[in-house]
Amino acid sequence: MSNPVFFTAPGTLDGLAPGGVFVLDGPEARHAVTVKRLAVGEAVDIADGAGKRLSGTVAAVAPGELTVECTAVSDEPRPAVRLVLVQALAKGDRDELAAETATELGIDAVIPWQAERSIVRWKAERAAKAHAKWQSVVTAAAKQARRAWIPEVRTAVDGAGLQAAVAAADLAIILHEDAVRPLRQVLEAWQGARPAGDGAEQDGEVLLIVGPEGGISPREVTRLCGAGAVTALLGHHVLRSSTAGPAATVLASDILGRW
């Protein structure tokens, strides 16, 4: 069974080596000591959310403080092909559910999207609070999944912002029920056209674009395709906004060799 994971700030694990000691404090330590009730001698991992992981055993516990003796430190590189979920805002917390599940399945970043047909609106006074909530949901999901990387929740975009993101991406896929080519075919064709061999030339970012409960409008599809996106069919059935992104994450992770 994998060790429970608790997060610390990026950089705080730098310089640690086997035999060293790390002291975790703050909310994560309180969760470890008070909620999880970790005891001396138990195995635990501390991750910095940016790929570095400390594995060790609990050496001491105190209110709001967990002391861990390091047995190993590892750096987990980002996948060469990064998957980014562009999730349209949706009602009933379905958008948050999509971000949460996609995080458990390995998504690398999430972009909240104010689509034309989104019922939920992130207005100025609530945008910062809503963004912080999404980041909290994603962080908790990364912790549950024992990930060393916490996906970034990027700044929310409107139509123009998404067009700019599409233009900057290596591949942008609109998951759409009227598409002709299956998602597998689109990904395999793109992967086959990439340069062979290892190295920086293999790096890439793929956007998986999911609309709201009312679907992506024809005008949005036209504009996004004009910016460089392609449409792809995920399956024979219409999936909920909360289901499409995680399903695409699974398929893409397999096809692109991330799993």
Which residues face 205 on adjacent strands? 82
Q: How far apart are CA 176 and CA 24, in angstroms?
A: 45
Q: How far apart are CA 194 and CA 243, in angstroms?
A: 29
Q: How far apart are CA 52 and CA 11, in angstroms?
A: 9
Predicted model pTM = 0.92
Q: pLDDT tens track of the chain, all 259 residues?
A: 689 999 999 999 999 999 999 999 999 999 999 999 999 999 999 999 999 999 999 999 998 899 999 999 999 999 999 999 999 999 889 999 999 999 999 999 999 999 999 988 888 778 899 999 999 999 999 999 999 999 999 999 999 999 999 999 999 999 998 999 999 999 999 999 887 655 444 689 999 999 998 899 999 999 999 999 999 999 888 888 899 999 999 999 999 999 8
Closest CA to 99 of 187, 184, 210, 8: 210
- Token pair, residue 13, equals 């694990």
